[in-house]
Amino acid sequence: MKLLIKPLVMGFIAAGVLSSQLAQAADIQPRMIRFGYGLAEDSNQGRAVKFFVDELAKRSGGKLRAKGFGGASLGNDIQMQNALVGGAQEMMVGSTATLVGVVKEFGVYDLPFLFANEKEADAVLDGPFGQKLMARLPEKGLVGLSYWENGFRNVTNTKRPITRLEDLQGVKLRVMQNPVYIDMFNSFGANAVPMAFSELFTALETKAVDGQENPVNTIQSSKFYEVQKYLSMTRHVYSPWIVLVSKRWWEGLSKDERKVIQEAANAARDFERKDTRAEAERGIAFLRKQGMQVNFVNTAELQRMREKAKPAFDKFAADSGAAVLKELQAALVQARK
């Protein structure tokens, strides 16, 4: 056994030395990178940013130093998008939903009941469809590096368990600033209130809104269980996050620098999806322990929601989303083969 260990250890050291020598040899300058995000540091989003920071330092021989700024400390998603376009910030990760103000076709990801599971979401987002949509960003001053997982969204509120469509009647529900969410929840009979994520906890605490909708991970990491009684599992939308860089900044980088940043973003994507799914597995038990009452909406009622949301689908398609919706549906057929 002893005979084996020595060459193995030597191998690891050699690999480490080699990668840092390669990094020294590559055209990589010492740089500081501000990486902003909206959730808490101790959230799936924060852990993935930290993974990216460490991975980038490793792959660049310590020359590319990213620093994570969590809790919307650099601004909310839309403010950070604007900072990237202006070149005042280098990187961010946030929801694709707020990109509709930049490229309206990103709204296709917000249509309800599109993806049935994470596997097909990964295939569509990382495949030709997701990459083609990302390719629309540079003309707007942004570059998309990779999709991470926000997850399947569920409804929380203080009024009542949502067991059927009618239970949403009159519930003041915060939604992301995106017409599909507004139309969808208004069609469900709720009173949709578009609002930045950074204002949400206070709005729930002061009862400015009755409820919100987010993946279990976010309900846990943002401590919404402290101000929300009911969690109703609807999985009404699969919500991606997207890692964005400032195009102005990106164009000033060497090929080698872009390569290591892209590789680190992809490695962080794989880490984040695993971490998010593992945490979501444990999330419901955790939230029940914090006193939340959790119910699962049955298939018949979900079908009624799907039908009710049809006008939101049609409106998105009519407002120029028809082609992109058709392409996504074709990509889904492929992914399901």
Binding site for ligand KDG (CB under 6 A): 38-39, 72, 77, 94-95, 150, 176, 197, 214, 218, 239, 241
Kindly tell me which of 77 and 257 has the beta carbon lying closer to ligand KDG.
77
Nearer of residues 28 and 152 to ligand KDG, judged by Cβ = 152
Place of tokens 């322990």: 289
CB of 73 to ligand KDG, least distance (A): 11
Which C-beta is closer to ligand KDG: that of 22 or that of 78? 78
- The SS3 call for residue 196 is coil
Give the shortest CB-57-to-ligand KDG separation in angstroms.
23
Q: Return d(Cα 332, Cα 335) in angstroms, integer.
A: 5
Angstrom CA distances, 330 to 114, 217, 256, 334, 336, stand at 12, 30, 35, 6, 10
Judged by CB, which is closer to ligand KDG: 166, or 205? 205
CB of 165 to ligand KDG, least distance (A): 22
Structure tokens at 297: 């909406």
Least Cβ distance, residue 150 to ligand KDG (angstroms) = 5
How many residues in the chain? 337
> Residue with the closest Cβ to ligand KDG?
38
Judge contact between 221 and 44, C-beta under 8 A: yes
Q: Are 103 and 140 in contact (CB under 8 A)?
A: yes
**Do residues 299 and 164 touch, judged by C-beta distance below 8 A?**
no
Whose Cβ is closer to ligand KDG: residue 44's or residue 187's?
Answer: 44
Cβ 201 to ligand KDG shortest distance, Å: 11
Residue 108 DSSP symbol: G
